[in-house]
Amino acid sequence: MEFFQSLYNFFTSPLFHFLLRLLGLFIILIWLSLVFWTYRDAKKRGSFAFSWATAVFFFNFFGWLIYLILRPPEYLEEVKDRELDIRTKETQLKKQGLHCPACFRPCEEDFQVCPYCFKKLKKPCPNCNRLLKLDWAVCPYCRTTL
């Protein structure tokens, strides 16, 4: 009986009520910080930041979990950096010029054969002697049929 009386005294004490209020304040701070974090994260990812923050505000932890599942996988900055890297690499490849389709070593535009593996790259036109691609059936410069 004494145990229950001391338990009752603890739960009715001002210390317990203070701890309950402190716990409530802590839960409210966590909840509002989840709303703020969701808004910032959704904005960085190019998602609907206000809508997601509102969902987390009303549905608390469950709204935040749904956002974590459905959010875009990468930030907008990462997408822009990746696209810029791809464009840079494409430009570098275009600047490097022609490559041999057999050995992938660099060749120049006016090479008829690869100097490394002797693969035939272009053929001369019998009429004007300009270099043509191997699959062309007519010379686009002088209209000679091959």
Predicted TM-score (pTM) above 0.75: no
For residue 19, pLDDT over 80 is answered with yes
State the CB neighbour count (10 A cutoff) for residue 90: 10
pLDDT mean over 128-141: 91
pLDDT tens-digit map of 49-60: 999 999 999 998
Q: Which of the pair, 58 or 97, is modelled with greater confidence? A: 58
pLDDT tens-digit map of 76-95: 999 999 999 999 988 877 76
- Distances in whole angstroms, Cα of residue 82 to Cα of each of 72, 88, 132: 15, 10, 37
Supply the pLDDT for residue 7. Answer: 86
pLDDT mean over 99-120: 87
Q: Across the chain, what does the average pLDDT equal?
A: 90
Beta bridge partners of 132: 123
For residue 96, pLDDT over 70 is answered with no
